Each structure stands twice: as C-alpha cells, then as structure tokens.
Structure 1
Amino acid sequence: MRTSGEPEAPTCTGSPRLSQRGNRSQPRRSWPLKVREVADRIGGSAAQVALGRLVAQGEHVVPIPGTKTPKYLVDNAAGADVRLSAADLADLDAIPAPVGARY
C-alpha cells in the first residue's frame, strides 16, 4: 500500500512484456534506460524524446499524445520542437523490440 509520502509505482511493472523475470528481461528493461539517456543528452524528457522520434518518421506520422495534467500537456507540446540527431535516432533504433504478448 502506498502512503502519501511514497512515490507512485510505475504502471508498466505489471506488464508481462516489461517483466523482470526470465532470461529475456534485459532487452525489456533497456528501452526506458536508453530513452532516458537520449533525453538527458538533449536536455528534454522521455516523453519529448518519444514524440520527437515519431515526428522524425516523416510527415505521414502524426503523434497524438494523451495527457493527465496541464504539466504533461506543456511537456508534450514541447516535444514538437525536439529535433533528434542522426546519432540519437540510431540509438533509439538499436533498442530491441519487445518480446512476447502485449497483454
């Protein structure tokens, strides 16, 4: 049970695709670390990197982010201005695809 002073647990921890069990767990845990690494390098957030990655796919890909709070809305809107370098995109492209069933 979470008390008011404890941080909220990430919602992805219950997903079988992101589970830390089994030999295939390392690729599953590597993608958030790589996205965070790119975000730190460009001085943005992980959400901005994800949106920037989608924008980099070309004019026929239009990200439609959801948001819960005005703070996230501002963060997502700033993602439209993110321009990832070729090295950033290569790092993100090198992330292994998820393995296993989605749900």
Structure 2
Amino acid sequence: MKHRRLGTHGPGVSALGLGCMGMSTAYGVPDDTESVRTLDRAVELGVTLLDTADAYGRGANEESLGCTPAQAVLAWLLAQGEDIVPIPGTKRRGYLDENAAAAGIELGPEQAARLRAAVPDGAVAGERYPLAALERLGH
C-alpha cells in the first residue's frame, strides 16, 4: 500500500483509507462479525487510515475495534517497555478517562504485531516540532 502525508507536517497514512460509517449506521442493519473481518483485512492490506468518527453510530465503530483508536495507540506504546511514558494531552474529562483506561488494556502478541506493522520502522521520521515553532519558543 502506498502512503501519503496529511498536510505539510501531518502523519503518513495509507493512500486509501477505510470509511467505517456503514459498519454501524446509515446503510442497513450492521453486521459486527463482517465489520471486524473487514477491519482485520484492511490492516492486512496496509490500510492505516480508518474513519471511525464517533458520530457514526455513537461510538459503535470504536467498540468494534475493542477499544478506541487512541486507546489502542496508548496500549501499544505502554507495551514497548517500562522506559516509555506516553503523555496524551486533553482538556476533557471524558478523554482523560478514556486515556487512563488504556493502561488496563493488554495487547496480545498478534495485536501488537498488527499495530507494529501498521507503522513500520522508519515510516515516521523527522523533527518533533517544525523549526518555526522551535524558534518561537526561543530554541
């Protein structure tokens, strides 16, 4: 799967994403089993951009993943070792609760490998902040 960058400094994502609205609403009765199989297949194909807006089915898309995308990322980061301490920012208590719940998510070896494969080594590189932002901060 080819990749593209979102915006100037945005993340690299698969050239094709997967819209998940039909997995929970809008296109007839949802089929959770098929939805999970479709998500698994998308990951196998290298799709890294999943549109699971919580407006679709009031969070049903995220539930089909077993957790929210943010929780999956945080759980994966925590599984990388005791020397990794994620610092997700939020100004909403609901998101704080969601983030905190990620600490209790145990990824199995297969899940961890699938997440690792979604962003292979070397796929993300560069400075943490754009040079102009560092200059504004006096660095």
TM-score by length of 1: 0.60
- Corresponding position of 1:48: 71
Relative to structure 1, is the Cα distance of residues 83 and 45 closer, same or farther in structure 2, using a 3 angstrom cutoff?
same
User: Taking CA–CA contacts closer than 8 Å with sequence separation of 6 or more, which of the two structures ends up with the larger relative contact order?
Assistant: 1
Unaligned runs of 5+ in 2: 18-46, 51-60, 131-139
- Corresponding position of 1:75: 98
Quick check: which one's helix share is greater?
Answer: 1
Within the candidate set 57, 78, 83, 2:80 is matched to: 57
Separation of aligned partners in 1, 2:72 and 2:101: 10
Percent of pairs identical after alignment?
39
Separation of aligned partners in 1, 2:127 and 2:81: 28
SS at match of 1:66: coil
Quick check: which one's strand share is greater?
Answer: 2
CA RMSD in angstroms comes to 3.4
Question: Residues 1-103 of structure 1: matches in 2 within 5 Å?
Answer: 14-15=7-8, 17-18=10-11, 26=15, 29=17, 30-33=47-50, 40-41=64-65, 43-96=66-119, 97-98=123-124
Asked if structure 1 preserves the Cα contact closer than 8 Å seen for 2:12 and 2:124, the reply is: no
1:58-78: CA deviations, max 9, x gaps? 111111111121111110010
Asked if structure 2 preserves the Cα contact closer than 8 Å seen for 1:16 and 1:101, the reply is: no
Equivalent pairs, count: 83
Separation of aligned partners in 2, 1:26 and 1:98: 15
1:30-55: CA deviations, max 9, x gaps? 3233xxx99734x2111110110011
1:9-49: CA deviations, max 9, x gaps? xxx954454578xxxx527x53233xxx99734x2111110
Unaligned runs of 5+ in 1: 1-11
Asked if structure 1 preserves the Cα contact closer than 8 Å seen for 2:78 and 2:103, the reply is: yes
